[in-house]
């Protein structure tokens, strides 16, 4: 039986993690179908049909699908599920909100946030905020699996031409009403997908001092992160928080400035490809995960860092 | 309004966990345990709602082994009125827990069920959503703000793109984010008083729920260790290494 991928989109275009989830789905079975549930989302459906790994697109349109409400989405997927062995989507807030609702309808024990596909029923997933990896086998007939997007490469986005089949919409769930969405707009890359992240901790000493980080982030085209301590101290808003209770990031380069490296913070960044730590306390735990450690006062090191960057002829973006 | 709050006993969030050598799980013997952090936020919110006169009763429930009752006792010490302990041993998957909670909800008939958005041990992030599905109730997950308006809740949710606000009709499920509030500490007199508050004990099998796991845990291992890094002498060396050795800038 084929695998059903739930596409994430904003009605205009696919959201990027759909491509990572498509890769994971294609590792489970080569026959991947995708369902897109939305309102006036033809353009996003078309993008989905162009992913070479997708063999068929199922499109469900209605006004009440405009805002991705799980209570409206879940019955649609439940109805389609009889033809599929697996239901897949990303383990971001979209998928986390939605998938368990589908799994419960199907009486399936969901496997959350996998980082590796071993076989069609066996997966690896982090537990204890990534401090242990569990290999698990699902014994349910239908498997509901959410995938950690940063653990799978995005699939090719063009070259495919899957047929798009229209499916009838389901009823509206009247006890939940969408009110508004406030998206945090920034010219910088999103923290969860940025290639480079520069993060500040309690060592920054004030919100004002974060401008030292901002400057470097702008130069590198990086996203700005923060430890929980910096957020709790009010230096920066909580959407920048990296860690167990914030975002998990896996950039090519993570620069931790004035961050001691509490367990909860490490859980959110230690899978980064290259880690730099700048801290004046040479014993700080952050150095134990850093590829390059600089024991220095950040108020001297950051301006120098900026100077050195300015000397470079080219900077990868 | 009556609020049922589900709490889970987990390894304390400050403990560096250790994987058992035989790969069967994580060491829990002689390890400090406490209430799952966002479950504390769930209790705090329910108690606050009661304190402003918008709830009449707060009932704390846990599902788990004998010692799980400690988390209910703690909830009673910060203001819950009474407790329920559904006894069950072994690994409890969110699907089983949500079926147990469904049975209890059918009996207790709360208007709201609160719990943390995710447990920090298995990191599943499923139970609240599954319970909503089983009850066909609205769900407000990852809540960072709750406003009660008659028989509706306006809830602000933490989503990847920022914040989302939804309005849900009671009865409903809310899963709580750490940003919802600042949980209080229990005072000594309240800890003493909590010892006199009733905790009803039920067994999962009495509720007719099969809790045997559907997902087999094959092995648990430590994540690959990062290879030891180096200390650089100065900023110039750092930038040179990033440019020429790591090739990331």
Pairwise CB contact (< 8 Å): B130 & A101 = yes
Last residue of a domain, one of A167, A188, A213: A167
Domain assignment of residue A125, yes or no: yes
Q: Kindly state whether B98 is in contact with chain A, defined as any CB-CB distance less than 8 angstroms.
A: yes
* A114 in the same domain as A59: yes
> A236 and A145 in one domain?
no
- Cα of B196 to nearest chain A Cα, Å: 34
Q: Quick one: A205 and A299 in the same domain?
A: yes
CB pairs A-B closer than 8 Å: 251
**Exposed (0-12), middle (13-18) or buried (19+): which is A224, by Cβ within 10 Å?**
buried
Looking at the domain assignment, is residue A183 inside a domain?
no
Closest CA to B225 of A132, A260, A259, A282: A132
Is A121 an interface residue toward B (CB < 8 Å)? no
Minimal Cβ distance to B26: which of A104, A128, A173: A128
Residue A267 lies in a domain: yes
A25 and A141 part of one domain: yes
Do residues B130 and B100 make contact, with C-beta atoms less than 8 angstroms apart?
no
Q: Does B142 contact A at CB distance below 8 Å?
A: yes
Q: What CATH number corresponds to the domain at position A241?
A: 3.40.50.1220
pLDDT in tens, A91-137: 999 999 999 999 999 999 999 999 999 999 999 999 998 889 999 99
Task: Specify whether A201 is located in the same domain as A145.
Answer: no
Extract the residue ranges of chain A whose pLDDT is less than 70: 317
pTM of the model as a whole:
0.91
What the block records as the tokens of B249 is 């800038």
CA pair distance A235, A226, nearest whole angstrom: 9
Q: What pLDDT shows up at residue A317?
A: 67
A198's tokens: 């520069």
Are the beta carbons of A41 and A49 closer than 8 angstroms?
A: no
| pLDDT at position A37 | 98
**In a domain? residue A151:** yes
Using CA atoms of A265, B18, B86, B74 in order, give the dihedral in degrees to the nearest 10: -60
Average pLDDT, chain A: 94
In a domain, A143, yes or no: yes
C-alpha span between B141 and A179 (Å, rounded)? 15
Is residue A185 a part of any domain in this protein?
A: no
Domains parsed from chain B with CATH numbers: 2-245 (3.40.50.620)
**For residue range A128-166, what is the model confidence (pLDDT) as tens digits?**
988 899 999 999 999 999 999 888 999 999 999 999 999
Structural domain harbouring A21: 2-167
**Do A53 and A161 share a domain, yes or no?**
yes
Residue pair B126/B115 in contact (Cβ under 8 Å)? The answer is no
In a domain, A148, yes or no: yes
Closest residue by Cα to residue A281 from A174, A211, A212, A203:
A203
Both A16 and A79 in a single domain?
Answer: yes
Residues A105 and A37 in one domain: yes
CB neighbour list of residue B80: distance below 8 Å, 6 or more residues apart: B5, B43, B46, B47, B58, B59, B60, B72, B197
Q: What is the pLDDT of residue A114?
A: 97
Same domain, A157 and A211: no
Q: Flag whether residue B120 sits within 8 Å of chain A, measured between CB atoms.
A: yes
Q: Does residue A100 lie in a domain region?
A: yes
Give the separation between CA A197 and CA A12, rounded to whole angstroms: 28
Sequence length of chain B is: 249
Tokens representing A304 are: 């120098």
Q: How far apart are CA A10 and CA A67, in angstroms?
A: 8
Q: Which residues of chain B fall short of a pLDDT of 50?
A: none
Residues 6+ apart with CB under 8 A from B43: B5, B7, B35, B58, B60, B75, B78, B79, B80, B114, B183
- In this predicted structure, what is the pLDDT of residue A82? 95
Statement to judge: residues A12 and A63 lie in one domain: yes
Across the interface, which of B19, B231, B242 has its CB nearest the CB of A293? B231
CB contact under 8 A, A102 and B221: no
Grouping H, G, I as helix, E, B as strand and the rest as coil, residue A146 is strand
Whether residue A98 is found in the same domain as residue A228? no
Residue A73, CA distances (Å) to A21, A24, A67, A177, A226 in order? 18, 21, 10, 13, 34
Domain count, chain A: 2
CB-based contact B220 A253, cutoff 8 Å: no
Distance CA A39, CA A27 (A): 30
Tell me what pLDDT residue B44 has.
98
Across the interface, of B129, B166, B234, the residue whose CB is closest to A179 is: B166
**Contact: A96, B141; criterion CB under 8 Å:** yes
Selecting from B131, B217, B249 the residue whose C-beta is nearest the C-beta of A316 gives B249
Identify the H or E element spanning A197.
strand A196-200
Q: Using the beta-carbon criterion (under 8 Å), do B229 and A292 form an inter-chain contact?
A: yes
Q: What ipTM does this complex have?
A: 0.94
- What is the CATH number for A133? 3.40.50.620
Question: Both A27 and A149 in a single domain?
Answer: yes
Q: Is A123 on the interface with B (CB under 8 A)?
A: no
């Amino acid at each position: 039986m084929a695998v059903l991928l739930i596409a994430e989109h904003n009605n205009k275009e696919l959201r990027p993690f759909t491509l990572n989830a498509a890769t994971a789905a294609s590792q489970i079975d080569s026959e991947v179908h995708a369902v897109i549930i939305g309102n006036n989302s033809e353009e996003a459906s078309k993008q989905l049909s162009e992913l070479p790994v997708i063999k068929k697109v199922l499109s469900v349109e209605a006004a009440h699908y405009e805002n991705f409400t799980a209570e409206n989405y879940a019955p649609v997927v439940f109805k389609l599920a009889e033809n599929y062995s697996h239901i897949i989507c990303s383990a971001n807030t979209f998928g986390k909100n939605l998938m368990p609702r589908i799994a419960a309808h199907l009486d399936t024990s969901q496997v959350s946030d996998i980082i590796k596909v071993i076989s069609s029923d066996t997966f690896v997933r982090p537990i204890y905020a990534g401090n242990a990896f569990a290999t698990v086998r699902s014994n349910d007939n239908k498997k509901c699996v959410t995938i950690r997007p940063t653990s799978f490469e995005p699939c090719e986005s063009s070259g495919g031409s899957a047929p798009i089949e229209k499916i009838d919409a389901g009823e509206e769930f009247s006890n939940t009403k969408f009110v508004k969405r406030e998206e945090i707009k920034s010219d910088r890359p999103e923290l969860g997908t940025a290639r480079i992240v520069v993060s500040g901790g309690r060592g920054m000493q004030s919100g004002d001092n974060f401008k030292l980080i901002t400057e470097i982030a702008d130069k590198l085209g990086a996203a700005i992160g923060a430890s929980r301590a910096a957020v709790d101290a009010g230096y920066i808003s909580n959407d920048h928080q990296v860690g167990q209770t914030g975002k998990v990031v896996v950039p090519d380069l993570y620069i931790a400035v004035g961050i001691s490296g509490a367990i909860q913070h490490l859980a959110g960044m230690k899978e980064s490809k290259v880690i730099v730590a700048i801290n004046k306390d040479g014993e700080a735990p952050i150095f134990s995960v850093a590829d390059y450690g600089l024991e220095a006062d950040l108020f001297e090191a950051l301006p120098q860092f900026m100077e050195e960057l300015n000397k470079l002829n080219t900077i990868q973006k | 309004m009556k609020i049922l709050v589900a709490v889970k006993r987990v390894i304390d969030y400050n403990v560096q966990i250790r994987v058992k050598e035989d790969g069967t799980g994580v060491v829990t013997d002689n390890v400090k345990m406490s209430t799952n952090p966002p479950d504390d936020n769930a209790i705090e919110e329910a108690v606050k709602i009661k304190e402003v006169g918008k709830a009449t009763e707060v009932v704390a429930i846990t599902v788990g082994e004998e010692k799980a009752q400690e988390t209910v006792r703690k909830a009673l010490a910060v203001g819950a009125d009474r407790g329920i302990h559904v006894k069950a041993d072994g690994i409890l998957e969110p699907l089983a827990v949500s079926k147990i909670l469904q049975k209890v909800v059918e009996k207790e008939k709360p208007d709201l069920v609160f719990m943390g958005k995710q447990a920090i041990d298995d990191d599943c992030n499923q139970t609240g959503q599954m319970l909503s599905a089983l009850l066909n109730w609205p769900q407000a997950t990852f809540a960072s703000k709750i406003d009660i308006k008659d028989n509706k809740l306006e809830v602000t949710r933490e989503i990847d793109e920022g914040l989302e606000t939804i309005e849900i009709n009671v009865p409903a499920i809310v899963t709580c984010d750490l940003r919802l509030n600042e949980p209080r500490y229990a005072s000594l007199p309240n800890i003493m008083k909590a010892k006199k508050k009733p905790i009803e004990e039920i067994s999962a099998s009495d509720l007719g729920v099969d809790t045997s796991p559907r997902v087999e845990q094959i092995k648990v291992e430590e994540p690959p260790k990062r290879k030891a890094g180096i200390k650089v002498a100065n900023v110039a060396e750092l930038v040179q290494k990033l440019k020429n050795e790591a090739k990331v800038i």
